[in-house]
Amino acid sequence: MNHYPVLLDLDGRRALVVGGGPVAARRIRGLLDAAADVEVVAPSVCEDIWDAAERGELTLHLREFDASDLDGVWLVHTATGERSTDNAVAAAADSRNLWCVRADDAAASSAWTPAVARLGDVVVAVNAGADPRRAVALRNAIATQLETGELPLRRHRMTGGRGHVALVGGGPGDPGLITTRGRILLAEADVVVVDRLAPQALLEHLGPDVEVIDAGKAPHAHTLTQDQINALIVERAKAGQRVVRLKGGDPFVLGRGSEELAACRAAAVDVTVVPGVTSALAVPAAAGIPVTARGITSRFTVVSGHDGPLDFASIAALDGTLLFLMGVSRLPEIAAELQSHGRPSGEPVAVIEKGTTADQRVTLATLGTIAARAADRGVQSPAVIVVGEVAALADT
């Protein structure tokens, strides 16, 4: 095949479709997506074409084709289902040096429409000669890889202008639990500012020229302060870079995503928030613990065990499941205070370390025994503490 592939700018330019059936309707949709000025010539048309004409999306001529229909046209599609008519359209187009796409006979066409996969400004066109189903199968496979961020999407030529910040929730630890939107933005990123609890395995898929900045926070050990992180992502975006702030769990669940969002807005930097699967729900689920269960409880409360003094009297009085994030270092205090404020010592407790990962471990006990049990097993963060009857359902 000695065909020359090319993309056409049809915005505002006339495109003629001869034929009114479902095949013609599919061709029309692609032309309308390209903002072409579409005219359709056919004695009768299917419902999709009629509705598009009623909406004013195209101009419809309910009659047979005439060579004068080609006046002022840039591109022709013929899909009448009648070979003699398609031959006449193709011949008339050829005599006027117009490209004509034939739906009935690819070998007789002077132009072809490939199967197309799109993602943002990325367009991948697939042509498989006279085998359109093969082209569609390839297109679908490529589209899936584009939509899951498995193909290299990062720009290599800077086009100027302001950059962008994406606050991406990476999920609870398993790299497969990031959203497809988050994965795509990672594949496009110039800079990734990553937290300690973000899925580190995702960084292995980045190109060697993507800058990775560790902004991890551990107890009493902060690589960057929050103010420094805010300044960093704003500075890089203003330099025209695509910045991904990759965080564990969800950026708005006991994280500081809201502060980073406010910093970007204050600096007039474009910013997107991509929700993540929060560890508060996903980690118990990975251990077989539903945070709500019919006949047991219909509510749950998420508590930060890391930030300052806790109002244990109010927390202990809450009905339902209690979920403590970042609370391993305070586990003995949490257990003792909940009991002193009325929670029964026999209430089930589960501590799930490194949830959703291959190193996940579950420690099951009660409020009265969990502190000693956790110390005996050497429980460490990151972990989610589950207090409530549902904890007894843990898969240990």
Spell out the SS3 assignment of 133-176.
HHHHHHHHHHHHHHHCCCCCCCCCCCCCCCCEEEEEECECCCHH
The pLDDT assigned to 142 comes to 85
Per-residue pLDDT averaged across 368-394, rounded? 96
Return the exposure string of 361-376: e unless at least 16 CB atoms fall within 10 Å of the residue's CB, then b. bbbbbbbbebbebbee
Of the pLDDT bands very low, low, confident and very high (cuts 50, 70, 90), residue 146 is: confident
The pLDDT assigned to 100 comes to 95
22-31, 137-146, 260-269, 317-326, range with the lowest pLDDT: 137-146
Output 348 or 6, whichever has higher pLDDT. Answer: 348
Q: What Cα–Cα distance (Å) separates residue 377 from each residue in 40, 361, 384?
A: 74, 10, 15
Of the pLDDT bands very low, low, confident and very high (cuts 50, 70, 90), residue 161 is: low
The pLDDT assigned to 112 comes to 85
Return the exposure string of 302-323: e unless at least 16 CB atoms fall within 10 Å of the residue's CB, then b. bbebbeeebebeebbeeebbbb
88-92, 199-203, 241-245, range with the lowest pLDDT: 199-203
CA atoms 234, 239, 241, 242: torsion sign: positive
Euclidean distance between CA atoms 115 and 125, whole angstroms: 6
Per-residue pLDDT averaged across 351-358, rounded? 95
DSSP letters, 42-61, are: -SS--HHHHHHHHTTSSEEE
Q: How far is CA 363 from the centre of its chain?
A: 34
Name which of 98, 132, 102 is nearest 114 in CA terms.
Answer: 132
Predicted confidence (pLDDT) at residue 219 exceeds the cutoff of 70: no
Per-residue pLDDT averaged across 283-289, rounded? 96
Average pLDDT for the chain: 91
Euclidean distance between CA atoms 33 and 332, whole angstroms: 62
The pLDDT assigned to 160 comes to 58
Q: How far is CA 153 from the centre of its chain?
A: 13
Predicted confidence (pLDDT) at residue 155 exceeds the cutoff of 80: no
Predicted confidence (pLDDT) at residue 121 exceeds the cutoff of 90: no
Name which of 88, 75, 90, 66 is nearest 27 in CA terms.
Answer: 75
User: Can you read off the two tokens belonging to residue 222?
Assistant: 């902060």
Predicted confidence (pLDDT) at residue 32 exceeds the cutoff of 90: yes
The pLDDT assigned to 72 comes to 95
Predicted confidence (pLDDT) at residue 131 exceeds the cutoff of 80: no
Strand, coil or helix: 379: coil
The pLDDT assigned to 1 comes to 59
Q: What are the tens digits of pLDDT across the range 61-88?
A: 999 999 999 999 999 999 999 999 999 9
Euclidean distance between CA atoms 279 and 291, whole angstroms: 12
Predicted confidence (pLDDT) at residue 220 exceeds the cutoff of 60: no
Whether 30 and 125 have beta carbons less than 8 Å apart is answered as: no
The residues annotated with a catalytic role in the active site are 195, 217
Euclidean distance between CA atoms 183 and 150, whole angstroms: 8
Per-residue pLDDT averaged across 31-37, rounded? 94
Name which of 264, 291, 295 is nearest 278 in CA terms.
Answer: 291
Predicted confidence (pLDDT) at residue 222 exceeds the cutoff of 70: no
| Beta strand 383-387 pairing with 191-194 | unpaired
Of the pLDDT bands very low, low, confident and very high (cuts 50, 70, 90), residue 339 is: very high
Of the pLDDT bands very low, low, confident and very high (cuts 50, 70, 90), residue 122 is: confident
Predicted confidence (pLDDT) at residue 308 exceeds the cutoff of 90: no
123-127, 165-169, 208-212, range with the lowest pLDDT: 123-127
User: Can you read off the two tokens belonging to residue 236?
Assistant: 């890089």
Of the pLDDT bands very low, low, confident and very high (cuts 50, 70, 90), residue 113 is: confident
Whether 269 and 231 have beta carbons less than 8 Å apart is answered as: no
End-to-end CA distance of the chain: 61
Of the pLDDT bands very low, low, confident and very high (cuts 50, 70, 90), residue 310 is: very high
The pLDDT assigned to 357 comes to 93
Euclidean distance between CA atoms 279 and 256, whole angstroms: 15
User: Can you read off the two tokens belonging to residue 50?
Assistant: 């009629």
